[in-house]
Amino acid sequence: MPRFSAIGGFQAGIVAVMLTYAVIVWTEPVTVKASPALPESLQDEIAAPPSKDAMDELMQQKLAAAQEALEAVSREDYEKLHDASLEMIALSHKEAWERMASPRFVQDTADFAAAVEFMDRMATAKDAEGITLGFVRVTMTCAECHRHIRSLKVASLELPPLTGKHQQQSLVQYRR
């Protein structure tokens, strides 16, 4: 039976904060309300969003890869962290993400990829503090993207059918 590596006080604190933050971000319910009041220029519309089921599946896969990364960080398992990093990068290049081509989402995806690549470089260098910092950066980019998805500028994945005067209204929905 393998023994867990001893985690120093700083790393244990970071891991605890990141786990708490991930649980809060993951479990917070997302509610959206229509807002025809936003000017068209402020809208961050998604031309052809993927289905909610497809997005849920991708997010579950990304969460599983992030959990593998957290385990690897806590055990200083650099090879496992490298594998988890490759998986997260591959998932961020899936077609569903490509279809969500708002400028903000493209930036969020680029930030995520950069954070994962940094974490992977630290794993290659076998830098324990670097992988911890890398995981913190990855988690922060995830939280920022989720905050963006819940913000007032992102189109809903589940759109109601449009009829009559509703065709005139904006499809952009948001959470207050």
The per-residue pLDDT for range 100-116, each reduced to its tens digit, is: 667 888 888 889 999 99
Is residue 149 within 8 A of residue 30, CB to CB? The reply is: yes
Residue 138 lies in a domain: yes
- Please tell me the distance from the alpha carbon of residue 133 to that of residue 139, in angstroms, as a whole number: 10
Q: What is the CATH number of the domain that holds 113?
A: 1.20.120.10
Residue 61 lies in a domain: yes
Where in the sequence is the domain holding 94, given as residue range(s)?
Answer: 51-157
Across the chain, what does the average pLDDT equal?
74
Residue 169 lies in a domain: no
Q: Which of 69, 103, 73, 105 is nearest to 87 (CA)?
A: 69
Domains held by the chain: number? 1
What digits encode the pLDDT tens for the residues 70-95?
999 999 999 999 999 999 999 888 77
What digits encode the pLDDT tens for the residues 22-31?
666 666 554 4
Residue 8 lies in a domain: no
